[in-house]
Amino acid sequence: MSTTYTLDTATSRANPTPAPLKRLTVPAIRARKVDGTTAEPLVMLTAYTVRTAQLLDAHCDLLLVGDSLGQVVYGLPSTVPVTLAMMAAHGAAVVRGSWHAVVAIDMPFGSYEASPEKAFESAAWLLKETGAAAVKLEGGEAMAPTVRFLTERGIPVIGHVGLTPQAVNMLGGYGARGRSDAEAAKIEGDARAVAEAGAFAVVVEGVVEPIAIAITRALACPVIGIGASAQCDGQVLVAEDMLGLFERVPRFVKKYDDLGARIGEAAARYAEEVRARSFPTDDQVYAPRD
């Protein structure tokens, strides 16, 4: 279902775009792959706030409210401690800040694994609270019945296989997956299982490139890579990583800017002017009325 928004420009900081825009839909995303080929690759970035969503929205087909917010926003050691309440708060903000991209929201660890019924309860609550269009969940063949349960009940699902960060304690770290023949075969089987269960797209993360290429060719639905291959049907990155807000990033990240350094430089100039009493100037203070 598409939605057309007419924005209130009275609070221009929150709503800087006055023109109504039509949002993409889940079927439109799924339809980008035709006969095994995606002519125009899908663009996906993470977003956690209204302002980030506003800045990224026009350039993306999908915005992912990732549970990576645990590390990026809250400074947690992994995604495992992230809660449904965290995801709902940030998901609602991203929906409010976007008008074009499909917004998908990660289901956090512990909110869906126990049973398909538990997954439906969590996913339905997230979509009601946020207005997001879809959920993403990690896991392969073991989660296929849950993917089917959700999609048959009207909840669009993005699958996630390969390196699954919520399973970091089982995996023993964030290294690339699929280096052995057995693991490669399992990842490919996992991707097929969630796609056949009804996922409209599958994220493939942190795998050796031949696996990503094989999965992309095998699946009828779009395959979105992260640390995978340029031959995938689309790509996703954590926005803060590719913008250069962190010094340390995974090796598969390309930094398109160095905002961390630029923000630091701006803060230093501000601090210098405050200490020199050269800010504020007449342009930033209010003069008495005559």
Give residue-wise pLDDT tens across range 136-158. Answer: 999 999 999 999 999 999 999 99
Residues 76, 272: Cα–Cα separation, whole Å: 32
pLDDT by residue (tens digit) across 71-100? 999 999 999 999 999 999 999 999 999 999
Q: Is 67 annotated as a binding residue?
A: yes
Mean pLDDT (the chain, rounded): 92
Residues 209, 228: Cα–Cα separation, whole Å: 5
Per the model's pLDDT, the better-predicted residue between 18 and 249 turns out to be 249
What the block records as the tokens of 277 is 């009493």
Report the pLDDT value the prediction gives residue 163, as an integer from 0 to 100.
86
Q: Is 282 annotated as a binding residue?
A: no
Q: Is 106 annotated as a binding residue?
A: yes
Report the pLDDT value the prediction gives residue 290, as an integer from 0 to 100.
78
Residues 33, 42: Cα–Cα separation, whole Å: 10
Instruction: Give the distance from CA 182 to its chain's centroid.
Output: 29
Q: Is 35 annotated as a binding residue?
A: no
pLDDT by residue (tens digit) across 249-287? 888 999 999 999 999 999 999 999 999 999 999 999 999
Report the pLDDT value the prediction gives residue 165, as an integer from 0 to 100.
75
3-class DSSP state of 41: coil
Q: Is 138 annotated as a binding residue?
A: yes
First to last CA, the chain: 56
In the chain, what are the domain boundaries? Answer: 4-284
Residues 35, 222: Cα–Cα separation, whole Å: 11
H or E element at residue 106: strand 102-106
pTM for this structure? 0.90
Residues 260, 244: Cα–Cα separation, whole Å: 6
The amino acid at 153 = R
Is 223 exposed, middle or buried (CB count within 10 Å of its CB: 0-12, 13-18, 19+)? buried
Q: Is the pLDDT of residue 135 over 80?
A: yes
Which backbone phi and psi does 83 adopt, to 5 degrees? -110, 165
What the block records as the tokens of 22 is 């039509």
The answer to whether the beta carbons of residues 105 and 136 sit under 8 Å apart is yes
14: Cβ–Cβ under 8 A, 6 or more apart, which residues?
Answer: 50, 96
C-alpha angle 230/231/232, rounded to 5°?
Answer: 90
Residues 171, 191: Cα–Cα separation, whole Å: 18
The answer to whether the beta carbons of residues 105 and 77 sit under 8 Å apart is no
The answer to whether the beta carbons of residues 173 and 130 sit under 8 Å apart is no
Four-CA torsion 22, 38, 69, 13, nearest 10 degrees: -30
**Residue 205 among the catalytic residues:** yes
Superfamily for the 4-284 domain: Phosphoenolpyruvate-binding domains (3.20.20.60)
Report the pLDDT value the prediction gives residue 121, as an integer from 0 to 100.
98
Catalytic residue among 141, 205, 265, 273: 205
Return the residue matching tokens 């609602």.
Answer: 92
The answer to whether the beta carbons of residues 265 and 248 sit under 8 Å apart is no
Number of helices (H) and strands (E), helices first, in the chain?
11, 12
